[in-house]
Amino acid sequence: MIEKESFFPIGIGTYKLNLEEKEKTLKGLLYSVEKGQNFMSTALVYDNEKVVEFLKEFFSRVDRSKIFLMVHLEKYIEKLKDVEMQVNKYLDKMGIDYVDAVQVHASYVSKIPLDETYGEVKKLVDKGKVRHISVSNSNLEELKQIHEKYGVYSFEGVYNLECKVNENIGIIKYCKENNIKFICYQALRRNKIAEVNYPFLVEIANKYNKTQNQILLNWLVKEKGVMALIKSTSIDNISSNLEALDFTIDKEDIKKLNEFKHEGFDSIQIDWAETGNGVLIDKLASQF
């Protein structure tokens, strides 16, 4: 079974998989695995559970033990039994007998105390339906509380050139200090960062004869030490993403990437508890 020490640095995202061309999509996913990608994240809410249903075919074509599968508990968790019910739905729909990690999609999703929700996840670990406890889109205090009580294996959160909130509030630092694998989603903001054509980023890309997205992925993996979750089923795009790991960026260019700030993202008030005041953390990367 795959453990975090052997995670490929670029994971397989499944949000908005193209289910209109299922054979092409399946071919792309299998190509990713062939090239060494061994981590996948998915959620029941993706296309009203159709993505999870589609992945049954994927798992029938690969060695289950060679893929680390992360799943999300979605809104809303109102009773303790909702936790196992959702996990069972994942298992049934994908035709598998365990998931590698479970995380609450965002803390506000749990309408019962978050501690109790993760207590139920721990029971599923004891039953063998789940292997590890993960956390997603929480604040630092919540992460600390869950880790101290249950032990957190990984953390999935937004992080990219423009949106560095999880670095700013100390989440990434805490993860590194406590051997928690940080997995960033929206690493490229679905190509929105490259579409801006920041002059300094264009200059860096031209210097190394790489795309802007390759520069960003290289920086995230090699400099920031995080894992990037990318959805792509185009073989050309997958190959391009993997080629992002094959070069080294000079220190002066790393400094520019590290020091870049986006005033818009930095000024947003985050609504951690769905109070209606601010932007929900899982919606943050979709701003601008």
Give the CATH number, domain containing residue 121: 3.20.20.100
Q: What is the pLDDT of residue 124?
A: 98
pLDDT digits (tens, 9 = 90+) for 207-248: 999 999 999 999 999 999 999 999 999 999 999 999 999 999
For 51, the enclosing helix (H) or strand (E) is helix 50-61
112 within 8 A of 78, measured Cβ to Cβ: yes
Q: Into how many domains does the chain fold?
A: 1
- In whole angstroms, give the CA distance from residue 11 to residue 183: 8
Considering the domain boundaries, does residue 174 fall inside one?
A: yes
Q: Which residues of the chain have pLDDT under 70?
A: none
Q: What is the pLDDT of residue 92?
A: 98
Which residues on neighbouring strands pair with residue 102, listed in sequence order?
A: 71, 133
Considering the domain boundaries, does residue 31 fall inside one?
A: yes
Q: What is the pLDDT of residue 220?
A: 98
The one-letter amino acid code at 182 reads F
283 within 8 A of 187, measured Cβ to Cβ: no
Q: What is the pLDDT of residue 257?
A: 98
Residue ranges with strand state E in 146-255: 154-158, 181-185, 227-230
Considering the domain boundaries, does residue 288 fall inside one?
A: no
Considering the domain boundaries, does residue 89 fall inside one?
A: yes
Closest C-alpha among 199, 196, 148 to residue 174: 148
Residue ranges with strand state E in 181-226: 181-185
Tokens of 87: 């996990």
Considering the domain boundaries, does residue 150 fall inside one?
A: yes
| Predicted model pTM | 0.96
Domain with 109, as residue range(s), is: 4-283
- In whole angstroms, give the CA distance from residue 224 to residue 216: 11
- For 193, what's the count of Cα atoms within 13 Å in the CB-facing half-sphere? 27
Q: What is the pLDDT of residue 197?
A: 98
- In whole angstroms, give the CA distance from residue 99 to residue 129: 6
- In whole angstroms, give the CA distance from residue 43 to residue 62: 19
Q: What is the pLDDT of residue 228?
A: 98
Considering the domain boundaries, does residue 68 fall inside one?
A: yes
Closest C-alpha among 75, 177, 80, 175 to residue 135: 175
